[in-house]
């Protein structure tokens, strides 16, 4: 599990925002906000989702073909 690995600024920010939203929604009984808080907290704990620090890797399938272009005049 990625619980304690690869913590960066955006992941810490998402976790803090999620915990703050959960706490505030319970305190003020705004249950719609609770869903967003749980969502942000889950994204940070599980390291899911794509924030500003998202690392995407290109897919390599091995069957890339050379594209031929024809000049149009």
Nearest to 55 by CA among 24, 4, 3, 11: 11
pLDDT recorded at residue 38: 92
Read off the pLDDT band of 22 (50, 70, 90): very high
pLDDT recorded at residue 16: 93
SS3 content of the chain, % helix, strand, coil (to 5): 50, 0, 50
State yes or no: pLDDT of 18 exceeds 80.
yes
Write out pLDDT tens, residues 28-73: 999 899 999 998 898 888 877 765 555 555 555 666 677 788 888 8
Q: pTM of the entire structure?
A: 0.62
């Amino acid at each position: 599990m990625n619980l304690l690995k690869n913590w960066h600024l955006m992941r810490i920010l998402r976790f803090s925002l999620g915990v703050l939203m959960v706490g505030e929604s319970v305190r003020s009984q705004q249950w719609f906000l609770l869903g967003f808080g749980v969502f942000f907290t889950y994204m940070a704990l599980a390291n899911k989702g794509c924030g500003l620090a998202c690392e995407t890797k290109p897919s390599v399938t091995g069957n890339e073909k050379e594209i031929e272009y024809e000049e149009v005049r």
